[in-house]
A and B are shown apart, each in its own frame.
Chain A
């Protein structure tokens, strides 16, 4: 974000905002998994929904939100998008049937993806 003088702007707002939105989505997914682990299914549902809603999205579309809009997505963003969609599919099932091991692994994976997103350049 840059601002110089009068007239120049909030550079890169949209791409940065898309990236923030996807980070929030992952944080929501992690929160849902933690609540599921505690068997707080009702609360978990509200947090799982925003993450699960990408389960049927085309990978390209999710990857586009992680990239910089106009420029086609690179392999790293496509990998993150693929992992996100696959975890969304897993989380879309009945939370009662999720094994503790799956919850642990999925949480770790989401934290790793969050780390990757934090390192994506915004330029």
Chain B
């Protein structure tokens, strides 16, 4: 090797080292910047979830740092690697920039976990209540993003690093991230859209879809899993869930993306469920509106979407033939959860009759019209307002105030039970 070449190698090595030291310092800076000091809200579970998630991310960044170090060593270790770098410097620059972008994203996400609490409070309460009912208490956070999703924290934050080099072993975690997109999360009907994502967590932790496939020999992909989550959400939240989905779809183009069934088929399934379960009685005008909207969606769909819809319909029919409704009902029963129809007949009736402060759906509507928050279960509150046609008119701040009041009442009652 001539001295000129040695000099050249030295320059390249220095440049590679410089780029990796940028990577190192970016990750180290991120780690220290995530600490925000003491964080308290009036809702302990929210403060604890956020703190838990952030400290987990901080610890997991150590793994990313050591992975970057190994990668850096490979790049500077041999003349051939340096030769490759000289020809294609974009590789190292891209890696460095990717780490920078990742750090900015994580910093913004964490910062918003703290600042968004006021806006997401009702959604936090709804998700927490739903998960807890099914016996799951994973730490979870709500994040605004470019899509709706529910993922394990580790996948959400770090899965991009799984695609470079050998796999990293992370400390096990059950923490979950729900992402939402294009909605005002504090709006009343948006709560049910976020509620849908909580059933993804239940499906994932409880293995519901996989269990259904095993038990019945059904073989379906992501789109069928989504259909199962719609069934679970309707059985739990009742007819207001179908209304929320319809209103949500009305605001969008008739494109369902690649992991969901086409919108018209999803709504058709919800319509079918409501009529089969007999939970939409007394709201014929809404049933008509839903049917007309499904027809309108079909008119707007292009050839590909219609073809997809035909395939989705076949899959959905197969799921129904295999007894998806009965399977979900049994899953609810096994966890001691009432489906919406039983909830109205038994739980709601019992609570209305036994409450010290006599209350019923008519009184709930009266209270909200008078701007008095009602401390009742979210499912009761939302369906009462949906049934009377008030749900679009009531200020969402009043709904949040009602959720808060109910949450406090419920935990007060729980504390009495413990005594």
Residues of A within 8 A of B (CB): 1, 3, 6-18, 20-25, 27-28, 30-31, 34-35, 37-38, 43, 46-47, 49-51, 60-61, 64, 68-72, 107, 111, 114-115, 118
Contacts and interface: CB of A to CB of B under 8 A. Distances in A.
14 contacts: A3-B111, A9-B109, A9-B112, A10-B143, A11-B145, A13-B143, A13-B146, A23-B94, A28-B164, A28-B165, A34-B81, A43-B74, A107-B84, A111-B90
B118 A25 contact: no
Q: Which of B81, B88, B161, B164 has the most CB of A within 10 A?
A: B164
B255 A10 contact: no
A16 B255 contact: no
Contact of B161 (A10, A11, A24, A60): A24
A13 B179 contact: yes
A49 B167 CA distance: 9
B115 A17 contact: no
B98 A10 contact: no
A35 B70 CA distance: 14
Given A15-B147, A114-B94, A10 B112 contact: yes
B115 A6 contact: yes
Interface of B: 71, 74-75, 78, 80-81, 84, 88, 90-91, 94-95, 98, 101-102, 104-105, 108-109, 111-112, 115-116, 118-119, 143-147, 149, 156, 159-167, 179, 181, 255, 257-258
A11 to B, nearest CB: 7
B284 to A, nearest CB: 33
Given A7-B118, A11-B146, A16 B112 contact: no
Contacts of B108: 1, 3, 9-10, 13
Most buried by A among B143, B144, B145, B149: B145
A71 B166 CA distance: 32
A68 B182 CA distance: 14
A78 to B, nearest CB: 12
Given A10-B108, A30-B91, A49 B84 contact: no
A7 B184 CA distance: 11
Question: A-B pairs with the 5 shortest C-beta distances?
Answer: A9-B144, A46-B166, A21-B160, A25-B163, A10-B108
A31 B94 contact: no
Nearest to A18: B160
Choose among B75, B146, B179 the residue with the greatest number of A CB atoms under 10 Å from its CB.
B146
A5 to B, nearest CB: 8
A11 B156 CA distance: 14
A60 B257 CA distance: 11
B319 to A, nearest CB: 22
Contacts of B90: 111, 114-115, 118
Chain B interface mostly helix, strand, loop or mixed? helix
A122 to B, nearest CB: 9
Given A16-B101, A20-B102, A70-B181, 16 more contacts: A1-B104, A6-B116, A10-B108, A23-B94, A24-B98, A27-B95, A28-B165, A34-B80, A46-B165, A49-B166, A50-B165, A51-B163, A69-B147, A111-B90, A114-B90, A114-B91
A71 B108 CA distance: 24
Nearest to B75: A31
A9 B95 CA distance: 25
Given A12-B145, A34-B81, A107-B84, A20 B258 contact: no
A27 B94 contact: yes
B71 A70 contact: no
A9 B94 contact: no
Nearest to A60: B258
B105 A38 contact: no
